[in-house]
Amino acid sequence: MEYQLRIYEVKEGEMGAFLGVFPAVVEARRAAGFEVVGAWSIPAANQFIWIVGCEDGIEAASDRYYASEHRKAIKPEPSTLLETIDTRTMMAVPV
């Protein structure tokens, strides 16, 4: 499975709005084939961090996600609530 670490800097004063729309983002991601590993917020830094994974690769699942009607229906547009988006694709290591 391929994973992606997603680190967002949320715009000042928009964390509540972002957390309000996040369940719709999760639903759309899952419909596109993503597994949501976990999500965390760091309120003092206006940061939101989450990890998603997908058996057939992040790129293929992302293409399905952004093309989906689920994603197009999300309002407000989640990216309008964010200052920055940093992503890192990762592979699991046996432990």
Q: Domain of 58: which CATH number?
A: 3.30.70.100
pLDDT band at 45 (very low <50, low <70, confident <90, very high): very high
Residues with Cβ < 8 Å from 75, sequence gap 6 or more? Answer: 21
pLDDT digits (tens, 9 = 90+) for 71-90: 999 999 999 999 999 999 99
Token pair in block for residue 24: 């719709």
Domain count, the chain: 1
pLDDT band at 61 (very low <50, low <70, confident <90, very high): very high
- Torsion sign over Cα 19, 71, 88, 81: negative
DSSP designation for 81: G
Per-residue model confidence (pLDDT) at position 82: 98
Q: In which domain, by residue range, is 81 found?
A: 2-91
70 three-class SS: helix
Residue (of 91, 90, 68, 65) closest to 7 by Cα position: 90
Per-residue model confidence (pLDDT) at position 76: 94
